[in-house]
Structure 1
Amino acid sequence: MQVGKENRVLILILLCLAVALPGACTYKGGSGRVSEMQEFDSFFSTHSDSVVMAPRWMKAQALQRMERTKDSMVRYNYLAVALKTCLATSDFDSAQLLLRQVEAFAGRQPFSHRLADLQSECFNIKGNVYSRKGYIDSAAVCFKEAYEARLKGTKFEVIPDILINLADATNHLGRPDMGAFWYRKALLMCDSLKMPYRKKISIYYGLSQGYLALRDYEQCDYYSELAGKNYADMFPDEKHFYLNNRGNSYYYRGDYSTAIGYFRKVVELVKDYPDMSWALNLSYLNLSDCFLQLNKTDSVVKYLELCQPFFEELGSTTALYYIDTQKIELALQCKDFAEARRLLAMSKASPEIDADMIHIRNKYLQQFYEETGNYRQAYDYLKENKRLDDSIRNERIRMRTADLTLRYQQDSTLMAHKVLFQKQENEMLILRQTRLVTLAVAVIALLIAAFLFLYNRKKRDLLLAQNRRTVSTLRLENIRNRLSPHFIFNVLNQEVVNRKEEEKQELVSLVKLMRRNLELAEQLCVTLAEELDFVKTYIDLERRSLGATFHPVIEIAGDVLPEQVWLPSMMIQIPVENSVKHALRGKEGERNLWIAADRREGGVCIRITDNGGGYHPESRNRGTGTGMKVIMQTIQILNMKNQAAIDISVHNVTLPSGETGCEVTFLLPDKYDYRI
């Protein structure tokens, strides 16, 4: 038995060694890989500014370290750094060559988080190359793939930069609302990752550029000022984008002198950075257009000759289209219509051209056709520009809406959760330690809830008693105010004077009306049939005083059963009496009164309409409003204890005859509780 135990211990030790030895080898190799990757991360974080500030030195350093590195993943990360420097020097041929090498390597590797980071870097650089060449559709696709790949990687801190590129491309595609969406997502990422303020600078001037596209200069200036607070801390390329955007904003406002000042600042800036040739030539192109607007043709020719060779070599469709547009306007200013026609025949717009460029070209074409007498074509371009302006206004509305509704999205929240994932274990420990405190808080909360329940029940009982007193007061006030003294005395005087046997029916109706009024005043609710019977008695009494021109109509829809529909008493009679007293009695011509009941979704709708000229609160004949006040207060009390409320509306309507009338509408919900 003792030997068996020793054998089991020996076997256990051997198994542990068998597992540990391969693990130790893997760890050794793994340690080497981690060490080289850590060395790369340290190198890049230390010298990342040099990608823009000293791109040629950075490229040489990356390639030298690449040759000394054994880990293939790290080697191609160094190659990706060299690839980034090609963008800074506008060496797009070399960039495309290196891109193919990195993409070929990535396509052969199994998935890993580090590989996702490398693929994201490639897609982002590829998108920048497409963007610089004017292929914005392809650039947007690459930036989107870069973002999705980075979500699977480890370096989340670069996601805002990718989102900024995607937002900028989306803006150039004429979707400023989605551009704002991506900028807002980048801003939220910065907040979630607790990045410094300077990281948000690109987002602010990106949002400024989006609002510039919509000609919302107030918002454009707001975000530009936010970005400009840290101008001194910006990288050269960031300063270029900021100054260029400010210049463009003043160009579109027509303040060409101020715009020229900003574009010249860009020229001064890039003098110290000879690799920023793209920024320099873009500024030349913008300067030529500003001088074109000021009719300084010599300066226009000068700057176009400086920048055209660069963009022709680059093959930028947007820039070349812009150059041709300026040359067309230059020919128009010189009255050289033959040259303008030649340029128009040679220059064609491609789908990648910005809407702003098309807008400028259309303005010059309108001028060309006006001066050559082709007013039909000039009018067509005028209409097209108006359509573009309307589209910009519509996009402005959509962007403002998106600005409020697209601030916080699920992807950003998920990313913040990933960053904070390591803190969750500590939070769980804190939760266990505070369980006792939570239990104590729960007991206290239970006691407070019990106290609030008892307090609310007592308060509800007091409110119920108050409601009962209020209803009683309202009913007594209703008794005092329901019948018009003027009406009663008129009828009685007529009976005293005439005293004809055949007319005694009116006196009988009056007595019935008074008795029924008192009965209804004692009831909180009645059926629709009872209310309509009372209203018909009242109308019959009023017919004589109103004459043959008075036409009351009562229409009850077939799906409404008056004996089964309940409503507050006097709810129809009071608006009817108001219509007769204040609208129809003094009206000349036909006097119409309609009472209609039909079923709507969820209840019954009752409408009382007259053609008495409408409701005028300032009128001397509008009455005291006591009757309607009684009804409104009664319904308000009933609504307090019902989930679905009785809805009331009083408004003027235009009748089919062209007359103006007043309409009182009540919507009675089904299963309404009239008990207090």
Structure 2
Amino acid sequence: MWVAVVLSGCICKSNDGKTFEMQEFDSFFAAHVDSVATAPRWMRTQSLQRMKKAKDSLVQYNYLSVVLKTCLATSDIDSAQLLIRQIENFADRQPFSHRLADLQSECFNMKGNIYSRKGYIDSAAVCFRNAYELRLQGTKLEAIPDILINLADANNHLGRLDMGAFWYRKALLICDSLNMPSDKKFPIYYGLAQGYMTLRDYEQCDYYSELAAKNYDDMLPDEKHFYLNNRGNSYYYRSDYITAIRYFRKVVDLAQDYPDMRWGLNLSYLNLSDCFLQRNETDSAAKYLELCQPFFQEIGSTTALYYIDTQKIELALQRKDFAGARQLLMRSKTSPEIDPDMIHIRNKYLQQFHEETGNYKQAYNYLKENNRLDDSIRNERVRLRTADLTLRYQQDSTLMAHKVLLQKQENEVLVLRQTRLVTLAIAVVAFLIAVFLYFYNKKKHDLLLAKNRRTVSTLRLENIRNRLSPHFIFNVLNQEVVSRKEEEKQELTSLVKLMRRNLELAEQLCVTLDEELDFVQTYLNLECRSLGPDFHPNISIGEDVHPGQVRLPSMMIQIPVENSVKHALRGKGGECNLWIAVNRQKSAICIKITDNGGGYRPDSRHRGTGTGMKVVMQTIQILNMKNKEAIDATVHNVTLPNGEMGCEVTFLLPDKYDYSI
């Protein structure tokens, strides 16, 4: 498994970091998606900066799609159209991939939003349908409900309210299948409310509006605008203009806090002007018309401009300005995209105009036309309600059949899982008991073994020291008795110091190099008198060695030095040399004790019992059992530069050595 992880990591790195860059984009967008609506200009700047740093072209154009979203949020339609063409040109040159399908879907969704704002609802519906089909081939299925909401809204504007409700319910079903939280469903609720408002089914409209209102605090600014605008429209169609004005003014208050919500602000002005017209408050109506008209002329929204002209005609009629009304009627044109409800309102005003000007024949024609539209709209609403009920029944029946089948399969799977779970639980419990007993016995055995080893090691070290201390003291005292003729204060002081230090070292497992060399120097000072002027001891320490920080087993240098003096140099004719050299070798300290006493000879009568070196070797052996890196000790004869034969004892001490037992 670890090999697979390493290989997969190598593959990701060998792919020029493309996967990592795409994951970085996904993390960035998920963390700041709300900023598209709340801080679009900041989001645009961040996306452009990251786009320049990205090496993968697909990642670059994903950042560009975020810039496209921010242009729509600030109603910068011209820039948005330019970005859409750039993304489409890039996508046409690329081979198919799931991430490319996500990018193309995003592009079509934004393109549909632009068509919708300009009043080209047929084109918008086609773009939303393409966005939905491409998203099904992509990786981000959680974006499908938002696209279906746009598609349903476009169908509502086209008068296909049954299909609008169908797509809204499909979006709701996908939200449930993806286990999306309830706060992601409120756009569907107020979309369904809008559809039932158009069907004048105000009971269903209020039901879904209340469901959406539960998540009002979680809505983004543009979502709050959509919700409040629909609520205002629903009361407008009920002729409750006071309540409608209250909701539209809430939209104005909301939009004024977000300078980039120009579309929502001006749409609210347009709705407020109509409400005031219905209440014959011409001054307020004229004020709001003057506020919103420049914006809709700037973006070229045919539907909004037609609506503005219609309200201006009514405004002129209420002010008895028949000449102004006639001028507006002459220059105003009806576009195929205009909603039948707006045509109906326009015809009502035309009928009123001709009645006021005495052209009763033309007024009668508009009256008949409006009656025909009334019947047509009424019949269409009946048909759409019937179609909606049929689609709801089909969806509910299909969903119920699926639920029954799924419940049956879930029950079968549940029984199988329970059987397997019980079997697995028994096996796991048995395995855990066996593992527990194994490790318990192993731990108990290891603890007992460690305790025995500590006991044995302690006894061995105590035994070694008990053998060493008397042996050393008697050697020194014997030598002093033989060699000294009269008591000398300095010599007695050195002897006392040597005996006291020997007793202290016998109680310690390890000492510093500084302490050990001080003890050796005291011993050598005593031996210098008996060996005479021909004895030349030499102690050298490397510059990179710090004696106070180096630790070693106690008496590790003293015992080889004592052996050299006693068995090699004492009684030797000529110069007697003893060298003690301490140097660093990489991560270890090298200690060498060398003499010119003729070398180690097993058959020599001066070779001694070997007790001292045996103590050193046993101590090292016990300590090495606890360490990964061992102390290395060697004893061998060497040929000196002057041709003499000598004995050399070498110790190699690792830096990280543990002296605890």
* CA-to-aligned-CA distance 1:80-131 (integer Å, 9 cap, x gap): 0010011110000110111111111111111111111000000000000111
Could you say which residue in structure 2 is the equivalent of 1:557? none
Could you say which residue in structure 2 is the equivalent of 1:329? 314
Could you say which residue in structure 2 is the equivalent of 1:339? 324
1:167 to 149, 152, 168: 152
Equivalenced residues, count: 411
- Paired with 1:208 and 1:374, the residues of 2 have a C-alpha distance of 41
Could you say which residue in structure 1 is the equivalent of 2:163? 178
The amino acid across from 2:109 in the alignment is N
1:288 aligned onto 2:273: yes
1:124 aligned onto 2:109: yes
1:358 aligned onto 2:358: no
The 8 Å contact of residues 214 and 393 in structure 1, kept in 2 or not, is answered as: no
Aligned residue runs from structure 1 range 57-76, under 5 A: 57-76=42-61
The amino acid across from 1:239 in the alignment is K
Could you say which residue in structure 1 is the equivalent of 2:143? 158
1:45 aligned onto 2:30: yes
Aligned residue runs from structure 1 range 400-419, under 5 A: 400-407=385-392
Could you say which residue in structure 2 is the equivalent of 1:618? none
* CA-to-aligned-CA distance 1:607-639 (integer Å, 9 cap, x gap): xxxxxxxxxxxxxxxxxxxxxxxxxxxxxxxxx
1:253 aligned onto 2:233: no
Taking a change above 3 Å as real, the CA distance of residues 22 and 222 of structure 1, as seen in their structure-2 partners, is: closer
* CA-to-aligned-CA distance 1:519-540 (integer Å, 9 cap, x gap): xxxxxxxxxxxxxxxxxxxxxx
1:264 aligned onto 2:249: yes
Could you say which residue in structure 2 is the equivalent of 1:198? 183
SS, match of residue 248 in structure 2: helix
Taking a change above 3 Å as real, the CA distance of residues 413 and 98 of structure 1, as seen in their structure-2 partners, is: farther
- Paired with 1:371 and 1:291, the residues of 2 have a C-alpha distance of 21
Could you say which residue in structure 2 is the equivalent of 1:106? 91
- Paired with 1:230 and 1:391, the residues of 2 have a C-alpha distance of 37
Taking a change above 3 Å as real, the CA distance of residues 395 and 227 of structure 1, as seen in their structure-2 partners, is: farther
- TM-score, normalisation: structure 1: 0.57
SS, match of residue 351 in structure 1: coil
The amino acid across from 2:32 in the alignment is H
Deviates further, 208-217 or 312-321: 208-217
Q: Percent identity?
A: 79
- Paired with 1:273 and 1:33, the residues of 2 have a C-alpha distance of 36
SS, match of residue 131 in structure 1: helix
Provide structure 1 residue ranges, at least 5 long, that are not aligned to the other structure. Answer: 1-20, 438-676
What's the CA shift for 1:258? 1.4
Aligned residue runs from structure 1 range 645-656, under 5 A: none
SS, match of residue 153 in structure 1: coil
Which one scores higher on RCO, CA 8 angstroms, separation ≥ 6?
1
Could you say which residue in structure 1 is the equivalent of 2:564? none
- Paired with 2:211 and 2:414, the residues of 1 have a C-alpha distance of 41
1:228 to 208, 213, 216: 213
What's the CA shift for 1:407? 4.4
- Paired with 1:53 and 1:347, the residues of 2 have a C-alpha distance of 38
- Paired with 2:394 and 2:416, the residues of 1 have a C-alpha distance of 28
Taking a change above 3 Å as real, the CA distance of residues 227 and 122 of structure 1, as seen in their structure-2 partners, is: same
The 8 Å contact of residues 12 and 20 in structure 2, kept in 1 or not, is answered as: no
The amino acid across from 1:338 in the alignment is A
SS, match of residue 406 in structure 1: helix
- Paired with 1:77 and 1:400, the residues of 2 have a C-alpha distance of 41
- Paired with 1:392 and 1:56, the residues of 2 have a C-alpha distance of 43
Could you say which residue in structure 2 is the equivalent of 1:462? none
2:76 to 75, 84, 91: 91
What's the CA shift for 1:428? 8.2
Could you say which residue in structure 1 is the equivalent of 2:520? none
Could you say which residue in structure 1 is the equivalent of 2:566? none
The 8 Å contact of residues 214 and 392 in structure 1, kept in 2 or not, is answered as: no
Provide structure 2 residue ranges, at least 5 long, that are not aligned to the other structure. Answer: 1-5, 423-661
The 8 Å contact of residues 185 and 409 in structure 1, kept in 2 or not, is answered as: no
The 8 Å contact of residues 86 and 94 in structure 1, kept in 2 or not, is answered as: yes
SS, match of residue 358 in structure 2: coil
The amino acid across from 2:241 in the alignment is Y
- Paired with 1:250 and 1:204, the residues of 2 have a C-alpha distance of 17
* CA-to-aligned-CA distance 1:415-437 (integer Å, 9 cap, x gap): xx9xxx9xx99x98985996999
- Paired with 2:255 and 2:8, the residues of 1 have a C-alpha distance of 54
1:32 aligned onto 2:17: yes
What's the CA shift for 1:363? 1.3
The 8 Å contact of residues 162 and 391 in structure 2, kept in 1 or not, is answered as: no
- Paired with 1:29 and 1:299, the residues of 2 have a C-alpha distance of 67
The 8 Å contact of residues 263 and 286 in structure 1, kept in 2 or not, is answered as: yes
1:317 to 285, 302, 307: 302
- Paired with 1:436 and 1:231, the residues of 2 have a C-alpha distance of 44
The amino acid across from 1:93 in the alignment is D
The 8 Å contact of residues 177 and 399 in structure 1, kept in 2 or not, is answered as: yes
What's the CA shift for 1:262? 0.8
- Paired with 1:227 and 1:75, the residues of 2 have a C-alpha distance of 36
Could you say which residue in structure 2 is the equivalent of 1:56? 41
What's the CA shift for 1:375? 2.4
Aligned residue runs from structure 1 range 533-612, under 5 A: none
The amino acid across from 2:225 in the alignment is H
- Paired with 1:309 and 1:405, the residues of 2 have a C-alpha distance of 44
Could you say which residue in structure 2 is the equivalent of 1:297? 282
- Paired with 2:421 and 2:23, the residues of 1 have a C-alpha distance of 44
* CA-to-aligned-CA distance 1:34-65 (integer Å, 9 cap, x gap): 11111111111111000101111011111111
Taking a change above 3 Å as real, the CA distance of residues 223 and 384 of structure 1, as seen in their structure-2 partners, is: farther
The 8 Å contact of residues 40 and 78 in structure 1, kept in 2 or not, is answered as: yes
Taking a change above 3 Å as real, the CA distance of residues 31 and 431 of structure 1, as seen in their structure-2 partners, is: farther
* CA-to-aligned-CA distance 1:58-81 (integer Å, 9 cap, x gap): 111111111110111111001000
The 8 Å contact of residues 12 and 19 in structure 2, kept in 1 or not, is answered as: no
Taking a change above 3 Å as real, the CA distance of residues 391 and 28 of structure 1, as seen in their structure-2 partners, is: same
Structure with larger Rg: 2
Aligned residue runs from structure 1 range 484-495, under 5 A: none
